[in-house]
């Protein structure tokens, strides 16, 4: 069975898995009460381990697979930018996919030269990876690129990035990409300005929502409140600016590719 068919066929499984996992996650949170002192100081090894296990392997893995199943059934999303042809089948993974992931992951890693408090530069290639290409390419861009960035610039523990944090980032952005594509294909998403406004709104809603339980595991009160303030006042604004820049680049490149294809001469056999 092809990967695309497997993803689409098991969407209901992923949905039920995610719902059950969400209930289990809530129960585990209530049992351990990580916002208190029971798991030790902020960002202790025990907290990091619980965050990686409970946030990614329990809760976000089925959510990521659910997102991939949504992308997999849409050939227009899987096609290379500006190259979609009605009726043609496009695989989830192909030479094009691997090349796009490699290029965007390298760009994402290199963008880590700046820290997010100044300008969240990696958010620009992240946005391009899920809007110009497709959200599955974006997932692997964030995962692989995040691990590479941690190795090059020391932005976190590479082991945690490889086994949890990078995967959480991938899950975050695969769904940002899905929201963007769904809106882009709706009757309200035909205007580029409307798409940018939608992106900003969903970015501010989705990013705090999907990261909330991770920080609950990682930080006790009052450190949790300090992180929340920092997240809203520094991380979200800098990420919004960079991701909007990436989205504008993505929109411009897509239009150029589509115009180029329309202007290409027909070749007869």
What residue spans define the domains of the chain? 3-261
The whole-number average pLDDT for the span 248-256 is 95
Residue 195 and residue 189 in contact, taking contact as beta carbons nearer than 8 Å = yes
Residue 218's nearest CA partner among 30, 63, 21, 46 is 46
The whole-number average pLDDT for the span 48-61 is 96
Query: Residues 6 or more apart from 132 whose CB is under 8 A from it?
Result: 81, 249, 250, 253, 254
User: Is residue 265 pLDDT above 80, yes or no?
Assistant: no
Neighbours of 25 (CB within 10 A): 18
Residue 28 and residue 54 in contact, taking contact as beta carbons nearer than 8 Å = yes
For the chain, report the end-to-end CA distance as a whole number of angstroms.
Answer: 34
d(CA 208, CA 202): 10
Residue 143's nearest CA partner among 201, 102, 184, 186 is 102
d(CA 243, CA 209): 18
- DSSP per position, 78-109: HSPTT---TT----SSSHHHHHHHHHHHHHHH
The whole-number average pLDDT for the span 137-150 is 96
In whole angstroms, how far apart are CA 40 and each of 37, 45, 56, 81, 218? Answer: 5, 9, 21, 48, 10
User: Is residue 261 pLDDT above 90, yes or no?
Assistant: no
d(CA 221, CA 206): 23
> Greater confidence, 221 or 2?
221
CA angle 126, 131, 133 (to 5 degrees): 90
d(CA 141, CA 135): 9
Residue 11 and residue 66 in contact, taking contact as beta carbons nearer than 8 Å = yes
d(CA 58, CA 75): 30
The whole-number average pLDDT for the span 39-47 is 94
Residue 88 dihedral angles phi and psi, to the nearest 5°? -85, 140
* Whole-number pLDDT of residue 264: 53
Assign a CATH topology to domain 3-261. Arp2/3 complex 21 kDa subunit ARPC3 (1.10.1760)
* Whole-number pLDDT of residue 212: 96
Residue 139's nearest CA partner among 66, 194, 73, 218 is 66
* Whole-number pLDDT of residue 1: 59
Query: Residues 6 or more apart from 109 whose CB is under 8 A from it?
Result: 145, 146, 148, 149, 152
Question: What is this structure's pTM?
Answer: 0.94
* Whole-number pLDDT of residue 156: 82
User: Is residue 263 pLDDT above 70, yes or no?
Assistant: no
- Indicate the DSSP class of residue 111: G
Neighbours of 41 (CB within 10 A): 11
User: Is residue 269 pLDDT above 70, yes or no?
Assistant: no
Residue 173 and residue 145 in contact, taking contact as beta carbons nearer than 8 Å = no
């Amino acid at each position: 069975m092809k990967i695309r068919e497997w993803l689409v066929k098991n969407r209901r499984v992923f949905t039920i898995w995610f719902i059950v996992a969400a209930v289990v996650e809530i129960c585990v949170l209530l049992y351990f009460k990580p916002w208190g002192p029971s798991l030790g100081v902020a960002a202790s090894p025990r907290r990091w381990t619980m965050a990686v296990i409970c946030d990614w392997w329990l809760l976000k893995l089925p959510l990521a697979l659910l997102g991939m199943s949504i992308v997999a059934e849409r050939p227009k999303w899987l096609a290379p930018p500006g190259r979609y042809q009605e009726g043609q089948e496009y695989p989830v993974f192909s030479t094009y996919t691997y090349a796009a992931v490699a290029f965007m992951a390298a760009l994402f890693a290199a963008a880590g030269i700046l820290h997010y408090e100044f300008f969240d530069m990696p958010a620009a290639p992240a946005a391009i990876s899920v809007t110009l290409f497709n959200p599955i390419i974006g997932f692997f861009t964030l995962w692989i690129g995040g691990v590479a960035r941690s190795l090059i610039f020391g932005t976190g523990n590479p082991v945690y990035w490889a086994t949890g944090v990078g995967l959480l980032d991938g899950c975050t952005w695969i769904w940002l990409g899905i929201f963007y594509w769904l809106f882009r294909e709706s009757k309200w998403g035909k205007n580029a300005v409307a798409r940018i406004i939608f992106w900003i709104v969903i970015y501010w809603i989705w990013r705090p929502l999907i990261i909330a339980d991770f920080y609950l595991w990682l930080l006790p009160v009052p450190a949790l409140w300090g992180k929340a303030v920092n997240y809203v006042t520094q991380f979200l604004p800098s990420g919004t600016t960079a991701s909007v820049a990436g989205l504008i680049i993505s929109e411009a490149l897509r239009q150029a590719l589509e115009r180029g294809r329309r202007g290409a001469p027909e070749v007869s056999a």
